[in-house]
Structure 1
Amino acid sequence: MTLYEAELVVERRESVADGVLSLTLRHPLGEELPSWEAGAHIDVVLRPDLERQYSLCGDPADRRAWRVAVLREPDGRGGSAYVHGQLSQGDKVRVRGPRNHFALKPAPRYRFVAGGIGITPILPMLAAAEEAGAEWTLLYGGRTRESMAFTEELGRYGDRVRIAPQDESGLLDLASVLDGVPEGTLVYSCGPGALLDAVEERCPAGVLHVERFQPKAQEAGGNTEFEVVLERSGQTLTVPSDASVLDTVRAAGVEVLFSCTEGTCGTCETDVLEGTPDHRDSVLTDEEREAGETMLICVSRCLGKRLVLDL
């Protein structure tokens, strides 16, 4: 699939919470942008060597603007520092997408749980659930009330939204929203890894959908060498135990899209034509892993001796 890619202008840059900037991006000629649905994200190329993924958190009906929000992370890898310190209103950035690995599935009821900047993909989900006439609630936590973005926007939903800053009410009371939920309820959660792990412990299989900003801890396991056949390129390569499929493919001169190299963004998702992937990503659902039709080649490997990829 060919993704939309264009230079967009930072039309607006505003603080929406302590340490959180909201950016509104538009086409310089006013052209419409591709449609998107709740849960989608875009790749933003801040510099040739600095690319990050941000969830779209605006109105999907507005085809002329994309909104993202960026938390400044002092100990991050440089993306948030660049956005907060160097990216100015009127600047242009190359944007690619949108992609959606966190799509909102139809359901009569939803329970949303967000932590910190994890509110960004959840925000348009609330509007979509509202439009669909579904029953829903949101539990939203953060360090302090001042650090929690978009609380004013959330005010329109009344008591279906519970704002719970940690300095006021402690850790999120997950039991109050996740225990004993009616059959047919889906749970969507985004936030820090510790929060998502706690949510996972309370949700039965098939109910929970999460989006992680950091890779989920994987069980330690030895890597073995295997063969990868690139169907379209006509190459057969050996992936050594100390290198990824992505590293091996790029070293052979095959151009592939990639970004995080941690298995969290989904940029390098590749179709599997033959073989059984050893999934080590934090993106694919259990159903997608079981199907084995795609894999994230930056972290995932092979359970056998050979994979055939659509590359």
Structure 2
Amino acid sequence: MRKTAIIIPAALIVLAVGLSSIFIVDPRQKALVLQFGQVKQVVQTPGIGFKIPFIQDVVRYDGRILGLPTQPLEVTPLDDRRLVVDAFARWRITDLVKFREATGTQGIGFAQRRLENILNASTRQVLGSVPSNAVLSEDRTPLMNRIRDLAKREANALGVDVIDVRLTRTDLPEQNLSATFARMRAEREREAADEVARGKEAAQRVRAAADRTAVELTSAAQKQADVIRGEADAKRNAIYAEAFGKDPEFFAFTRSLSTYEKALKGDNSTIVLTPRSEFFNYLNSDMGVAKPAPAAPAAGQ
């Protein structure tokens, strides 16, 4: 009985010591075996590991890719137009020994604070070297790659690797929105006024060209009409001259008839003439031959 009482506690002690010398590393983790704060073993593969019980400790770290959203950051691009930027980084631990030396016992929480400071400084440096239009454009991939590369170099001292950086938001500060919108509205109104002015100028040019074309066409038509009218008048006068040369009396007769027709054509025309006027020579003739008007009686007859 006395031996049994001694063997059982001894076995339990051996079992406890044996179990305390075994540790398990999850596939999502990496581990360091520390002895009095010094790194004795780096375990980066999942499985079962061994350590010296009560002397060595195991510290586990997340081996997955981690995310780091930053707080809104105000930056000033080249054109002094302040912007508020949010970034998001993806990172992971690559050197456990260096990471332990840089972060001490605070681990990932301390590393994230340091990474956020590095990311903010890199963002300010990169975005401060370009105008605001480049920051606000849809294609910001080159800028994000520059921020990532700069942050990667700075974060190497922590034993971590910055895999990717994304700018999730780029806006104007609240106090600048009203002034910016007013300036944008003024620019659009000026552009609209310029377009209206150019439209009016183009319309005036079209209208002037149309008026000039109308004047030219009218002038050409008038010139052609005058030429035709002149040629007709010349031909008419030639015919009259030829007729007058053949029979002057008949020519005078026809001209008188034409004159009668024109003079007596109006409905309200009133003509007051003496019967002895030359206008009625052919009307006083029996045969249509003009007779000289009778002489006025002498005085005293």
Instruction: Report which structure shows greater RCO (CA 8 Å, sep ≥6).
Output: 1
Q: TM-score, normalised by structure 1?
A: 0.18
Which one has the bigger strand percentage? 1
Q: TM-score, normalised by structure 2?
A: 0.19
* Larger Cα-atom Rg: 2
Which one has the bigger helix percentage? 2
